Structure 1
Amino acid sequence: MPRSRLALSLLAFTVLATAAPASAQTPFPAPEADPLDARDGRRVERMEKVVRELRGIVFQMRDTGKPVVVQPADTDARMEELSSRIGDLEQTLRRLNGTLETTTFELEQAKRENGALRTQLQSMSDKLAAIEQAATAAPSGGVPPPPPPPVGNPTDAFARARQLMLSGDYDGAETAFAGFVEAFPDHQRTPEARYWLGKTQSVRGAHTDAAAAYLAAIRGWPQTSWAPDAVVELARSLVALKKPQDACRTLAELPKRYPKAPANITSRAASTRTQAKCAA
């Protein structure tokens, strides 16, 4: 028998049972002694539960005289709420996946760019090292004899070499600055002495020696007043040595390392860049 018909039959039976006096009720005969298996027992329990619910509805109608409102189970509402939460989680997960993909792409691109930059810097460093090595190994015409040790302390020796240069004695200044570099290789003014040494060597056309001196002076990119000019002078020496590509790479570092270089230095850098035919 379908469950709906069974429920109606039980409802009718309950109505009749509650309408008749209690004394008129006839007891059911005792069940036979045959035991029920577990499945039949569960079915009987469910049927008894339905009967109790139906009796409760009937008694409520009889006692109150009002329509009975049966509260539906909130299973559907909970399922809808759970489904909505799952939908929100899926949407959030999609957004996170999109953000992760974008971040991964940007990270990979940054790695490629950093790798290319490291390669470029390494290439430039290798070429500058080769220039320095060639400058050290290659003889240049008219090299003065080994300089005598500077007289006095480093401050006096540097001042004497600088005075010789200001007076126009470039040969004497070259000798004095070379002696200072040899005697005081670790002094704080030694990089500047190399810069002025390169100046004296550029005057006499010893571009290989001058390039080596400028390169040693700006090693580490010191933040000094003379460093931007040393970069330009290194580029000019490289142009004179017919190494325009190295000169262009050197000039490309000038605005990065010294963005506040004076106008006269940036103007000379632009002229050198034109001379080397650097790409715009």
Structure 2
Amino acid sequence: MRILGAAAAVALAAAPLAATVAFAQTPMDDPLDARDAKRVDRMEKVVRELRDIVFKAQKTGQPVVVQPADTDARMAEQATRIADLEQTLTKLNGSLESATHELDQARRDNGALKAELKALSDRLTADEQKATDAATAATAASGPQPPPEPPPQGADPKAAAADAFAKARQLMLSGDYDTAESAFSAYVTTYPETPRTPEARYWLGKTLAVRGDYVKAAGAFIGAIRGWPQATWAPDAVVELSRSLVAVKKPADACETLTELGRRYPKAPASVKTRAAAIRAQAKCS
């Protein structure tokens, strides 16, 4: 009986242990789901990063700077981009305002230039009228002059005009300025509308300037460059006009004329530009 009792006691004592072993061998579900596992991984990652930052700070002595992660970092990046775009937009607005201001200034300058050109044209017209009046007065004082000889009856007007111009030009080339002056003056009077009339006025001004009659010379040069012709002699005519204006004590008009030389004839010969610079200095142009 005692032996049976002891065996029963041993069996009862072993029963809980067997149950425990059996329970331990039974598989159990993971108490962490996938989402919690990801959270744990992120937390571990953060802890590792913080540990690295702290160790780095201890080694270098530099202050700890924690960078924003994930969403915060993206938001910060977007904020930086927005700030850059705002700065670019501000620069574009500034450039647009500057361009608008420059356009307005160019319009004002254009209006001022038109006004200056009109004023110069008015002065040239007035000078031409004065020169014409002076020539008329001189002619009246010297007595009646014979009218220019008309072209022969039945002659071709173009051929007659060309012949008259050639003869006047030859007289000037030969140094007979008095006769050349009369010939060019007759040409201008007889043929006022031919293509070579402006050039005839130019050579007439040359003969008058040689004789020192700068008032009449200025009138002839003004008539020659009216309309600013694109001819080889035109830049020289402008310089000669300015020289005549200086001679008749009109330096301001001479300076404006020389300013137009650069605008109207930028490709004038170097010799013309050199003479223009000398006259500009003589007139004390600014």
TM-score by length of 1: 0.64
Please tell me whether residue 240 in structure 1 is matched to residue 247 in structure 2.
yes
The CA deviation at 1:217 is: 0.9
8 Å Cα contact 2:148-2:190 kept in structure 1:
no
| Larger gyration radius, structure 1 or structure 2 | 2
Describe how 1:1-280 pairs up with structure 2 within 5 A.
67-69=33-35, 90-138=86-134, 139-141=136-138, 145-150=146-151, 153=159, 154-279=161-286
Q: Which amino acid aligns with 2:148?
A: P
Q: Secondary structure at the match of 1:236?
A: helix
Higher helix share: 2
Distance 2:270 2:81 in 1: 65
Q: Which amino acid aligns with 1:172?
A: T
Q: What's the Cα RMSD here?
A: 3.2
The CA deviation at 1:78 is: 9.9
Q: Secondary structure at the match of 2:148?
A: coil
Distance 1:173 1:200 in 2: 7
Q: Which amino acid aligns with 1:98?
A: G
Distance 1:146 1:110 in 2: 52
The CA deviation at 1:100 is: 1.4
Distance 1:190 1:63 in 2: 117
The CA deviation at 1:168 is: 2.8
The CA deviation at 1:83 is: 6.5
Distance 1:261 1:241 in 2: 25
Distance 1:277 1:115 in 2: 26
8 Å Cα contact 1:221-1:227 kept in structure 2:
yes
Q: Which amino acid aligns with 1:229?
A: D
8 Å Cα contact 1:128-1:215 kept in structure 2:
yes
The CA deviation at 1:136 is: 2.1
TM-score by length of 2: 0.63
Give runs of ≥4 in structure 1 deviating > 4 Å.
Answer: 62-66, 75-89, 142-145
| Greater displacement, 198-207 / 153-162 | 198-207
Q: Which amino acid aligns with 1:135?
A: A
The CA deviation at 1:79 is: 8.1
8 Å Cα contact 1:171-1:200 kept in structure 2:
yes
The CA deviation at 1:93 is: 3.2
| Greater displacement, 174-183 / 83-92 | 83-92
How many residues align? The count is 217
Q: Cα distance 1:236–1:150, how it changes in 2: closer, same or farther (>3 A)?
A: farther
Distance 2:194 2:87 in 1: 65
Q: Cα distance 1:147–1:239, how it changes in 2: closer, same or farther (>3 A)?
A: farther
Structure 1's unaligned 5+ residue stretches are 1-61
